[in-house]
Structure 1
Amino acid sequence: MVAMVLYLSELDQDVISKKLINDILFKNISDDGKPCDCIFVPASRTGNKFRTPGAVKQYFLGRSSKILFSGGYNGEFFESAPMKKMALERGVPEKDIITETKSTNTKENVIESLLVLDHYIGLLNINRIMICTAFYHMRRCHLTLQKYAPPWIEYSFHPVLDKTTRPDNWWKYKNGSKRVHNEIKGLIHYAKIGDILDYKIE
């Protein structure tokens, strides 16, 4: 029996099962433990709840000597600023922190961060990037990086878990369900317009 293969761009966002949602967002996403040249942390308004602590922990475990916080002005503050502040307060040396302050969405996080990384490190010197973001946001970050970053760069995933958007409970919570369905809707849209690498679902 031949397994059915689908792509994100072929899906109808209104006809999608819980299992398929879990496969798209969470399947095969786990930390491989490999050393990386940089920890990439796309910012959010609440980045210091989970993302910054996760990145700082991996830094002190020796996974990478650099952390990049990516996030621009959201109308109130530069989202990367409080993340850098927390990292400094937790003992990360300023020389090991890079910030990107122009982006306002995931696509811009990636494109602007690649420019910053090329300036500070040089993309030719980067072989592996750790993505440290919310679990449900990880697929979009990865597919966006695959679309715009040089093809030789590989990725390690460090998904951080909140309380209501986990692979085993998101459908039990109104906010978790909303986040997940919005993420799926966005992924399908971005795949259809070519903003991310189209994702094969087996």
Structure 2
Amino acid sequence: MKISELSPIHLNEDDVSKLLYDGIEDNLQKGDLIFVPGSSKAAEYRLPEAVRLYQEGRAKKLLFSGGVKWPGNEMTEAEMLMKKAILYGIPSNDLFIENRSLHTKENVLASMLVMDRMCGLENIDNIILVTAPFHMRRLHLTFKTYMPHWIHCSLVCSDDGSTGIKQWKQHPYGRKRAFDEAVKIIDYVKKGILMDQDI
């Protein structure tokens, strides 16, 4: 079944599981960079996972993307992630930011220029994506839709405590996030914003 064949108003748990989680696993490949999109909790959940990957030698550069300024914060998502990454001991010359984007599609589109200036898109083979479990399908589909076809992705989900494959059904917040995300992905595919694919 293709994503476009799913009905957002008749989704069940199996549909959501297949759409958001089937095939989402880390292939353990090294990357040319680690990509982290921002969110209100990105520094809490996504950044530690990205730092772990960097420290283990999976990639030598990190790119933080996100231009939203959350209430009570003077810095953008990307600026906050960079600041906290430095506190983890990561050298500033290994850190890059894109701080204009306001949502996932813009995270990818706006970051392409940063990546091109970092090392040339033609020189990138693999990007390690780090995001919350419920968000990984949409992020990966966005990369597949808009990035050059030769660029591959490794998918590393951070543990946000509620939307993991083994958590979301039992967690009220996780259920809501998962179902809302599934509806959003189906809508984007039907509008042509994201590529369709079999699930």
TM-score, normalised by the number of residues in structure 1: 0.94
1:142 aligns with 2:128: no
Partner of 1:65: 60
Cα offset for 1:136? 0.9
- Residue identity opposite 1:147 in structure 2: T
Asked whether the 8 Å contact 1:74–1:104 carries over to 2, the reply is no
Judge which range, 51-60 or 163-172, deviates more. 163-172
- Residue identity opposite 2:46 in structure 1: R
- Which whole-Å CA distance do the structure 2 matches of 1:59 and 1:40 have between them? 11
Partner of 2:158: 160
* Unmatched segments (≥5 aa) in structure 2: none
1:13 aligns with 2:8: yes
1:38 aligns with 2:33: yes
- Residue identity opposite 2:82 in structure 1: K
Q: How many residues align?
A: 196
Cα offset for 1:120? 1.6
1:171 is paired with a residue whose SS is coil
* Unmatched segments (≥5 aa) in structure 1: 1-5
The one of 148, 151, 164 equivalent to 2:149 is: 151
The one of 89, 92, 99 equivalent to 2:90 is: 92
Asked whether the 8 Å contact 2:62–2:94 carries over to 1, the reply is yes
Asked whether the 8 Å contact 2:63–2:95 carries over to 1, the reply is yes
- Which whole-Å CA distance do the structure 2 matches of 1:166 and 1:133 have between them? 11
Cα offset for 1:170? 1.1
- Which whole-Å CA distance do the structure 2 matches of 1:120 and 1:36 have between them? 14
Partner of 2:125: 127
Asked whether the 8 Å contact 2:40–2:70 carries over to 1, the reply is no
2:63 is paired with a residue whose SS is strand
1:45 is paired with a residue whose SS is coil
Partner of 2:195: 197
Identity of aligned residues (%): 38
1:14 is paired with a residue whose SS is helix
Cα offset for 1:174? 1.9
Partner of 1:26: 21
- Residue identity opposite 1:131 in structure 2: L
Please give the root-mean-square deviation of Cα atoms over the aligned residues, in Å: 1.1
1:54 aligns with 2:60: no
TM-score, normalised by the number of residues in structure 2: 0.95
